[in-house]
Amino acid sequence: MTDDANAPKHSNTLTYWIAGAIVVAIAVALLWPHFAMHFDIGGELFLRSLKMIVVPLVFTSVMCGILGLGDVRRLGKPGATAVGYYLCTTVLAVIVGLIVVNVLRPGVGTVDKARLQEFSQGSENPKQVLRRTLAEESGLTEAEVAGVLHDLPAVEDDIPSTSKILENLALMLVTDNLFQAAAEMQLLPIIVFTICFGALLTTMPNRTRSITTLISEANDALLAFVMILMKIAPLGIFCLVTARFGKAQAEGKFMQEIGQIGWYFAAVLIGLAIHAFIVLPLIFWIVRRENPYRYAAAMSQALLTAFSTASSSATLPVTLECAESAGISKRSSEFVIPLGATINMDGTALYEAAAAIFIAQVIGQDLSMSQQVIVAVTATLAAIGAAGIPEAGLVTMLIVLNAVGLPLEYIGLILSVDWLLDRFRTAVNVFGDSVGAAVVAVTIPEDEIPEPPAYAPTGQ
């Protein structure tokens, strides 16, 4: 019996409703921006509903993925493939970003001197501006934002170095309080604990049947809850998008800023498009020899939700449901996707590399090849350390700029358009996670991989 025997069926109708909701939301926001801002409460309720089940779903889904392998020794190949995939795609994303921004050179002669002087003479500390912006966008307090990375400066301290971020990444693997990590939605230590605990359970099957049954049934119940949430997704997504676009339109800054940094905006979108429509599909086709664009269509609900929420963590329940509907092995998706939502940030890495080079071009500071390599390495590490919350990339951007000595105050150039770019790069992050699940599924014994995939042609 294959894994997809009881898989929920993918509904194209719901996808159309979600897409339509986004289009209508943007139209309402542009026409009646102040009215649109009142939909914020509806969007916040939907976003919190998704986030509410993320932690328990991560625990049960990863546990089911480990238990489904039957023997901890079978975790080696899928685990190595997943980590290798994460590193390779993140590095490829950074390379794509660097190539695009070096070819288009969006920062050369596009921003007027008066605008630059405005940022260079700004009296407010850029770190404080970033914390306030991120707090506004994510709903976190400024103290919680400072804790996105454990040693991010709280007041006026130096920005952490590359060695410090490496230390932070190591410390992020474990926690001294699992319940506190769950309360703060720090998914990485939860995943590490779950993998270790699940691996232990596979070594004592006769004494843990009750626990494994409970975990499996809890996971099924949580996925059923996701299906209920998806029935109201078009309404929730409409509220989310309407409120955010309405706020941008009401402030009147977005189109004005596009006039100044439109080439930067276009360069990031082009880089994300190359990675999402060429690099990731090519990896998918090489590994599986199947049509990657059909698979992308099967993941469309998750991608639209990612665009709407700007949070890969909040989108996680939908991503898992779509991957299962697309015919990807539950053992693979339940192991790979939660881990990917935490450390596989292709879109964020690409954006941070491109933004750093753009700022260097704007201020007339050409970075050498060695400096661009430093940007690439730092952007990769910073993206892995970014939290799965809206605009967390702004915080880790400080590390990238500091690595090559770029002034932090010029990050203000990209703040006004970052909220929209954040939605595109989150969608790329989620697609990268789903492709990773499909790639890792190949490393699991064939009798555990469902066939044929739900998105395969039916011959009609």
- 3-class DSSP string for 29-89: HHHCHHHHHHHHHHHHHHHHHHHHCHHHHHHHHHHHHHHHHCCHHHHHHHHHHHHHHHHHH
The helix (H) or strand (E) run that includes residue 177 is none
Read off the pLDDT band of 125 (50, 70, 90).
low
> Are the CB atoms for 172 and 148 separated by under 8 Å?
no
**Mean pLDDT across the stretch 72-83?**
78
Asked whether residue 69 is domain-assigned, the answer is no
Tokens 């390599």 correspond to 373
93 to 89, 306, 348, 383: CA distances (angstroms): 6, 18, 9, 11
Domain with residue 376: its CATH number is: 1.10.3860.10
Residue 119, pLDDT above cutoff 80? no
Burial bucket for residue 141 (CB in 10 Å: 0-12, 13-18, 19+): exposed
CA–CA–CA angle 176, 208, 220 (5° rounding): 80
Residue 281, pLDDT above cutoff 90? yes
Asked whether residue 332 is domain-assigned, the answer is yes
Residue 192, pLDDT above cutoff 60? yes
Asked whether residue 32 is domain-assigned, the answer is no
Phi, psi of 286 (to 5 degrees): -60, -40
User: Which pLDDT belongs to residue 194?
Assistant: 87
User: Which pLDDT belongs to residue 452?
Assistant: 43
- CA 38/CA 258 separation, integer angstroms: 25
User: Which pLDDT belongs to residue 173?
Assistant: 78
**Mean pLDDT across the stretch 112-136?**
59
Residue 206, pLDDT above cutoff 80? no
- HSE at residue 379, side-chain half, CA atoms within 13 A, is 30
Minimum mean pLDDT range among 61-65, 285-289, 349-353, 356-360: 61-65
Residue 460, pLDDT above cutoff 80? no
> How many Å separate Cα 235 from the centre of its chain?
22
7 to 269, 326, 456: CA distances (angstroms): 34, 9, 15
CB environment 335-347: b (16+ within 10 A), e (fewer): bbbbbbbbbbbbb
User: Which pLDDT belongs to residue 2?
Assistant: 39
User: Which pLDDT belongs to residue 151?
Assistant: 43
- CA 343/CA 402 separation, integer angstroms: 22
Residues 397-418 have pLDDT tens digits of 777 887 777 877 777 777 777 8
User: Which pLDDT belongs to residue 27?
Assistant: 92
> Are the CB atoms for 355 and 383 separated by under 8 Å?
no
Total domain count for the chain?
1
Read off the pLDDT band of 114 (50, 70, 90).
low
User: Which pLDDT belongs to residue 190?
Assistant: 86
Tokens 């991608």 correspond to 303
Percent of the chain with pLDDT over 90: 22
CA–CA–CA angle 347, 345, 173 (5° rounding): 165
- CA 311/CA 318 separation, integer angstroms: 12
- CA 378/CA 311 separation, integer angstroms: 22
User: Which pLDDT belongs to residue 422?
Assistant: 87
Asked whether residue 39 is domain-assigned, the answer is no
User: Which pLDDT belongs to residue 22?
Assistant: 92
Residue type, 190: I
Read off the pLDDT band of 58 (50, 70, 90).
confident
Q: Which two tokens stand for residue 398?
A: 């400080």
Average pLDDT over all residues of the chain: 79
**Closest C-alpha among 194, 167, 259, 260 to residue 56:** 194
User: Which pLDDT belongs to residue 161?
Assistant: 55
User: Which pLDDT belongs to residue 163?
Assistant: 65
Residue 376, pLDDT above cutoff 50? yes
Neighbours of 311 (CB within 10 A): 27
Asked whether residue 456 is domain-assigned, the answer is no
> How many Å separate Cα 306 from the centre of its chain?
8
Residue 157, pLDDT above cutoff 50? no
Read off the pLDDT band of 457 (50, 70, 90).
very low
User: Which pLDDT belongs to residue 96?
Assistant: 95
Asked whether residue 322 is domain-assigned, the answer is yes
User: Which pLDDT belongs to residue 212?
Assistant: 85
Read off the pLDDT band of 68 (50, 70, 90).
confident
- CA 76/CA 82 separation, integer angstroms: 10
Residue 324, pLDDT above cutoff 80? yes
Asked whether residue 307 is domain-assigned, the answer is yes
Residue 143, pLDDT above cutoff 80? no
Residue 168, pLDDT above cutoff 70? no
Asked whether residue 129 is domain-assigned, the answer is yes
Expressed as residue numbers, the domain containing 286 is 81-197+262-448
Q: Which two tokens stand for residue 392?
A: 């967390």
User: Which pLDDT belongs to residue 122?
Assistant: 54
- CA 433/CA 299 separation, integer angstroms: 11
Q: Which residue has the higher pLDDT, 116 or 210?
A: 210
